Chain A
Amino acid sequence: MVTCVVEPGAILKILAHASKFPSNSVNGALLGSCDGANVEVVDAIPLCHTTLSLAPALEIGLAQVESYAHISGSVQVVGYYQSDARFGPGDLSPLARKIADKVAERQPRAVVLLLDNKRLELFCKAQADVPFDLFTKDGSKGWKRAPEGKPSVVAAEAEAADGAGAARLQLKGGEWKKLREEFFMMFKQLRHRTLHDFEEHLDDVAKDWLNRGFSGAGKFTLPGNAI
C-alpha cells in the first residue's frame, strides 16, 4: 500500500495556482522523495495555465524542474498535479494520464493529485475534508484512484485504516481543517496572485516559478497564532 504524505505548503501552492486562474485548467509538478512504498511530497511547482495539451512549455518546464531537483540533491520529481477548468465531476483526463505516464517513466512510483472542483466547493463550505484525489499507477492497468471509488481521506491520527485501499493520501500534520483556514487567509490576502507558474516565467523571465518565499516564509497570520 502506498501512502502519500503531502506537506501543507505544497497543497496551498496547488490551491493558489488553481485560484489564480479560476477559469483555466492548470497543472504542475510535485517534488519530494520516495521511500519504499511511501511517497512524500514536499513542494509543488506550478507549470502551465493555458493549453495544457501543448508539449513544449510542459517539457521545458519539467526539464528545468528536474534540473533544479538534481542540483538540490534532496528532492526529485515524484508526481504531477492537475486541476481542470470545467466544473463537472473530476476524472483523470486522457491528456493528464499521458503526462502522468511521462513523469512515471522517470519515477515509477509517481503519484498524481487531481484537484476536483466539485469537492473544492464542498471543501470551501466545510462540507468535505479533502478536495484532492490521489492516483497511483497500477502496473500496466494505468492510473487508479485511491482508494477505489471513495475519496481518499485519512487523518494523520490514522483512523479508518482500511488496509483494502491501494493507496492513501495524508496531510503532514494531519489537519485539513487548519489548511482550509490557511487557504482562506491566503485568498483574502490575495497572496495567490503572487504565485507565478512556469508559463508566466516564459512570458517574463523575472517571474520566479520556484515561488520562493510564497508558503515558506509567509507564515499565515491566524488570529491567536504567533508567527
Chain B
Amino acid sequence: MEIELEEVERQLRSAKGVPSADKLIKYLRLVRDLHIRDSPMVARYGNILLRHYKSDLSEDERGRVALERTRGNTTAAIDALRKYLEVFANDKDAWEELAELYLEVLNYRQAAFCYEELIMHAPSNSSFFVRYADILYTLGGTTNYKTARAYYAKAIELTAGGSLRGLFGILACSAHIPDRVSLQDARSRAQIELPEVTAQALLRIYKQHAPDKLPFVEPMLAKLNGQGGMLE
C-alpha cells in the first residue's frame, strides 16, 4: 500500500491545475488506512477536496441517491449513499437516510450500525436512542432485548420520563427477557421493579392526558407485566 501511496502522491504533485476528485479521494483513503497523521499534504489535498469538490460531490451523490430512491432502486441508492458517507462521514442526515433505506430492505443490522453512528454524533437526541432500541427489539434475542431496554431507559432519562415509546419499549423488552433473579442482588431487584415502575409512569401519563384510553391501556399493561410478549 505504501507504494500505491507514493504513486498517488506523485500523480497529485504533477497534476496540472486541480487534481481529479477520484485521485484525491484515493489518496485520502490510503492515508487513512496507513494511519498517516502528520502530513501537510493531507491537509492540503483534503482542503482542495472540500473547497473545489464538496458541492459537486455531495450534491451529485445526494442527487443520485434521491433519484435511485424514486426509481425504487433501493439497493443502488444504498450503494450511492455509502460512497458518499465514506467521504462525508459527518453528515447526520445522510446517516439517517441510509438507515431508512436499510430498514426498507429489512436489513436491520446495517440500520442498527447507522444509528450507532448517529448516537455517537448526537448523544443527547433521544429519538436516535429510541430508534436504535426499536431496531434491536425487532432483531430479537435476549441480548438485544437487554440492550434495547438500556437504550429505552436512556431515552426516558433524556426526556425526563416523557418518552412514551421509551416507556412502552421497556415493558415490551422486559416481557421478553426471562429473568433469573435473586432478591439479594440490588441490581436484579431493580430489574424486577422496572416494569412495575414503568407501568405506573404510563398510567399516570394516560390518566393525565388521555383518560379515555385507560380502559384499554390498563389490561394491556397488566398483560405485559404478567405474561410473555404482547403478540404471542
Contacts and interface: CB of A to CB of B under 8 A. Distances in A.
Interface residues of B, number: 33
A203 interface: yes
B22 to A, nearest CB: 33
A226 interface: no
Contact of B230 (A59, A68, A88): A59
A57 B134 contact: yes
B172 interface: yes
A208 to B, nearest CB: 7
Contacts of B164: 201-203, 205
A118 interface: no
A85 to B, nearest CB: 9
Contacts, number: 78
B165 to A, nearest CB: 5
A59 to B, nearest CB: 5
B216 A68 contact: yes
Interface in B98-128: 100, 103-104, 106, 108
B134 A54 contact: yes
Contacts of B108: 53
Contacts of B137: 54-56
Interface in B125-155: 131, 133-135, 137-138
A205 B208 CA distance: 9
Interface string A86-129: 10100000110000001001100000000000000000000000
B205 interface: yes
Interface of B, secondary structure class, is helix
Contacts of A221: none
B210 A62 contact: no
Contact of B216 (A51, A71, A102): A71
Contacts of B205: 205
B53 interface: no
Contacts of B40: none
Interface in A125-152: none
A53 B220 contact: no
B231 A53 contact: no
Interface hub of B108, B172, B205, B220 (most chain A Cβ within 10 A)? B220
A67 interface: yes
A197 to B, nearest CB: 14
Interface hub of B172, B205, B213, B224 (most chain A Cβ within 10 A)? B213
Nearest to B205: A205
Nearest to A94: B106
Given A53-B108, A56-B165, A63-B231, 20 more contacts: A51-B131, A54-B134, A55-B134, A55-B137, A59-B172, A60-B230, A62-B230, A62-B231, A63-B220, A70-B219, A71-B215, A71-B219, A86-B72, A106-B231, A201-B164, A201-B210, A202-B165, A202-B168, A205-B205, A208-B212
14 contacts: A51-B100, A53-B103, A54-B134, A56-B134, A56-B168, A56-B169, A57-B165, A63-B224, A71-B216, A202-B164, A203-B165, A205-B210, A208-B210, A208-B212
